[in-house]
Amino acid sequence: MYRHYCWQLQQVANPPDRAKDDSSVGAKNGQLSRAGSLTVLRRTNSKSKLASSSSSRTSSIAESDSYASVDLGTDKLPPIDTPEASHVCSIRLRNILRRIQNGEVPKEDLYKNLEYAASVLESVYVDETRRLTDEDDELSEVEPDAVPTEVRDWLALTFTRSMNNVRRRGQEKPKFRSVAHAIRAGIMVDRIYRRLSSSSTLHIPPAVLQLLKGMDDWSFDVFALNSAADGHSLKYVGYELLQKYDLVTKYKINSSMLDSFLLQLEAGYSKYKNPYHNLVHGADVTQTVHNILSQSKLAHWLTDLEVFATIVAALIHDFEHTGTTNNFHIQTGSEFALLYNDKAVLENHHICASFRIMRSEESNILNHLSREEYREFRALVIEMVLATDMSFHFQQLKNMKNLLGMPENIDKQKALSLVLHCADISHPAKDWSLHHRWTNQLLEEFFKQGDREQELGLPISPLCDREKTLVAESQIGFIDFIVDPSFTVMTEMLEKILTPLQKAARSEEAISEEVFDKSDKSKYVLSTPWADCLAINKNKWKEQAAKDAEERKRKEAEEKSKVPNSNTNNNTTKAPVPADKATPVVNCSTGKGGN
Ligand code: CMP
Ligand code: MG
Ligand code: ZN
């Protein structure tokens, strides 16, 4: 089916019959057309219309001279949406121009004819616009056996906007012309898309742009970014990384959908107004994952889809966190605990709620993934985010250590899960100023939970008692038993994965040389900025622990001096807790912290 409005210069040998037969035109003007003149023709919206008006399409300018008659009325001119209207219109306008020079055109006639001309042009415009946006029609011109059905369906699916094209036409196959058109259209869409995505609609304030330049740094100041970004650090980090890895282009992510997705993520992270598990933590973990992928060159080992999944997993990994632990959900029998049968309660929710968003029409950043890609992406994201459940920590490290001792390659899902897990617990391995701030925020969140547990008459969870928790000691324990071992295993894992890659790269130059040891080219050298930070921070906490112990001693003495007989202490105020009785941050036998 054509909706072409096609201008065609055509030699016509004989005057068409229609000029004589059509009373609406020929009878009025009563003039015969000249043979051999040029015709401008317009195709109609349907083949039948085309067939029935074929004689009019071949009408000549000579024939249309009838419209240049003395009578300048418009009543008998052809309807504005017919093929001949534009042709007739042009003749009439030329005629009027000639007459204007001689001062022969009454104002009323001029008005009516200009009105007619405007309507014809409007109709032409509508027709033409429809044609340009109607790919269906091109694919309907298919000829059987030109290309396999699968190819045709693929073309329809990829280069047209509607699934309807795939099934609607049954057994038809595209003609070569249609295929070529579809390919051209696809290339054009791709070009337009690239232009759009590189000159994206997202306006990034200059101060944010400046800070985003530091995204590759280990101790990137995400708090500074969040201030400059007016509380939208997650949006900018997500946006920047998806652009940086060229994923927006690769997966044809629509910029307004991306915008909506990131804003909805931010809203979810802000739902419970958590001091720690908020959008800044989401941004921090995502930036840290990027740092590890890029600085170690692990990204070279991954496919685009795996990088995409890893970044999205990091972005969503604590989405709609309630500011309470899994254990709190289980103990209070929350809706989430009920829904997920007490297993990885929060992590299941983070995944489920974010996939709901990614499935929604306005935030569907995955809509150009094939079915297969979508399945792989989803499986990866699920595995990675479930592995952020801290109750899985020791098992995860043990599994990875076993894999490191074996000759087989490391499973990508497991490797990426460990990278995300390390990023999630990385703040003790960053600059002190960052780590200190995160710790205060996390403890504030834990203490709020402790307050609620107290109100509910539940035992206060480890690290959640604002009166008893020994902050410095807890952080030393967290570094020694959780963070340090995790980063050690991750370092070994990266070395095991990337050393053979480096060998391959030496011939292919796929990975830049600078990551490898200059003296021994076969040795992969990983930069480990976390190691120094961990050592420095641990020392700071040790100093703090000593100071805190002093302060406790001093207070104890002060309390004693206030009460002459310590036996008469009626315990109305809480006594400071000796270090050995204080709640430890981690139960080292189970590894369960305050997740
Ligand atoms: P989440 O971010 O969901 O996953 C990692 C968990 O590690 C985090 O929640 C906290 O429960 C825990 N965590 C992170 N940092 C610390 C810390 N400094 N001290 C104790 N626990 C921590
Ligand atoms: Mg979490
Ligand atoms: Zn987290």
Q: Which atom of ligand 1 is nearest to the CA of 463?
A: 20
Query: Could you give the 3-state DSSP secondary structure of residue 42?
Result: coil
Atom of ligand 1 nearest to the CA of 585: 20
List CB contacts of 252: < 8 A, sequence separation 6 or more. Answer: 193, 368
Mutate-to-test residue for ligand 1 from 279, 319, 388, 424, highest number of ligand atoms within 8 A of CB: 424
Residue 548 assigned to a binding site: no
Architecture of domain 196-539: Orthogonal Bundle (1.10)
Would you state the pLDDT for residue 129? Answer: 55
- Whether residue 442 has its Cβ less than 6 Å from ligand 1: yes
Domain boundaries, the chain: 2-133, 144-190, 196-539
Instruction: Check residue 427 and give its pLDDT.
Output: 98
Measured from the Cα of 389, ligand 1's closest atom is 4
pLDDT of 82 reads 80
d(CA 278, CA 267): 10
Q: Note the pLDDT of residue 182.
A: 42
pLDDT at 474: 95
- Write down the pLDDT at residue 213: 97
389 Cβ closer than 6 Å to some ligand 1 atom: no
Q: What integer pLDDT is reported at residue 366 of this predicted model?
A: 98
| Other beta carbons less than 10 A from residue 134's beta carbon | 16
pTM attached to this predicted model: 0.65
Cα(428) to ligand 2 centroid in Å equals 16
In the structure encoding, which two tokens stand for residue 352, read together?
């489920």
Q: Which two tokens stand for residue 382?
A: 């699920």
Contact yes or no for 105/99 (Cβ under 8 A): yes
For 450, other C-beta atoms within 10 Å of its C-beta total: 26
Residue 76: predicted pLDDT: 84
Q: Check: CB of residue 280 under 8 Å from CB of residue 222.
A: yes
User: 523 CA to middle of ligand 2, Å?
Assistant: 35
Spatial separation of the C-alpha atoms in residues 319 and 349, rounded to whole Å: 8
Residues of the chain with pLDDT under 50: 1-62, 133-139, 141, 154-199, 510, 568-595
Q: How many CA atoms lie within 13 A of 464 on its CB side?
A: 22
| Ligand with minimal distance to 289 CA | 3
DSSP code, position 411? P
What's the pLDDT at 87?
A: 83
Residue that has been written with the tokens 């632990």 in this structure:
325
Per-residue model confidence (pLDDT) at position 591: 37
Strand locations in 297-387, DSSP E?
none
| Active site annotation includes 427 | no
Classified as helix, coil or strand, 366 is coil
Q: What are phi and psi of 136, to 5 degrees?
A: -50, -40
**Which position among 181, 277, 349, 421 bears the catalytic label?**
277
